Amino acid sequence: MPPRQRDLNLPSPIAAEDLLPTTRIAGHQKRPSVAIAVCTHGPDLGLLAKLFTALDRILECSAVAEVLIVDNGSPHPVAASAPLLWLQARHPQVRCVLEDRPGLTQARCRAIRETTADLLIGFDDDNEPAADYVAQVTAYAAHYPEVGVWGPGHIAVIFSQEPDPWIQRHRACFQERQLPFAISTVPPPLGAPWVTGTGFAVRRPVLEAYRLAVERGELAASDRTGAGLQSGGDLQIVWQALRLGLAQGFIPDLRCGHLIPPARANLAYIRRLEFGAAASYVPALLDCFPYEAAGMPGARPLALHGLALLIQPLVRLARGRERALEFRMARARALGHDMGLLATRNPARLGAYRRLARWSGAYP
């Protein structure tokens, strides 16, 4: 049985003066030291430049001794890129390391090994954090030592070009959110929304426990690798905090932009994104909370997924474009979820499901 849990949703007690760059806040608790890590693979240099401009603003007003860029085998080395050379010229503490093992999980583990700070803030190469990001995080982290992972309450999706109106209405697929202050130790399946990897700040004990679990093979859920859009790693870092008896939390005034180029502002990409998230959820969950397996249903028959694919044109004729697009998204999530179930229960059946997913465009 799962341990007893609690869920708090309280007004934020952090006053504006607590966000000044001092060493102590209310309760005389020392602010934690901070490292920043960016894991990247083949980044869009225009987006990377925006991230590094934002980091420059952060580093100008906050004490951050460790800034690490992890190049996860990019075709063109990030170490020689103009945006990174510019940032390093302004801030000598910025380092770049090459991680040859593919996948975001390996890049994150490398960042954990290469840093020593109490808190590690992770940004993606398409993020644009606010200038007071470190000040906000350290103030809350000092005031709430029981929180193991903090996430931004405000994530704004910023499209490089105006997308289709349907994409605009589904900005939540790109993690857009506006959440109040909250602290929660409620485990899945009831604990969502979960802190995502966009700008999350993780305490060192959680980081080390996660790294060791990955290296021992205890946490084996898939994370992003090249064209694959799985997201199990984000969840497992948050759930590792819960397993240690710590909480996750959201800071409403912690703001981060999520920059979306035209190549990702389309239905094909979002469908793959939804499929990848669904496919990685069950394996990630059962790695962390194996007792949840008993309550899970079986996977739906492959024939049912095939029928859903065949009636897609009829849905459009009968219900219109908007409903047809919603149907396609639901179909991708359902197929991904069932593939996640099969990956943990009957991997021998995965081949046929994978072929259908690839044929339908949901699987790369």
Strands 119-124 and 34-40: parallel
Query: What pLDDT is recorded for position 229?
Result: 60
Ranges of residues in the chain with a pLDDT under 70 are: 1-28, 221-230
Task: Please name the residues in contact with 194: beta carbons below 8 A apart, sequence gap of 6 or more.
Answer: 234, 235, 238, 248
Task: Please name the residues in contact with 13: beta carbons below 8 A apart, sequence gap of 6 or more.
Answer: 26, 143
Closest CA to 103 of 194, 40, 174, 196: 40
Domain 7-265 part of CATH 3.40.1390.10: no
> Cα 330 from chain centroid?
21
Query: What pLDDT is recorded for position 230?
Result: 66
Residue 30 near residue 62 (C-beta atoms within 8 A): no
What are the tokens at 192?
A: 């969502």
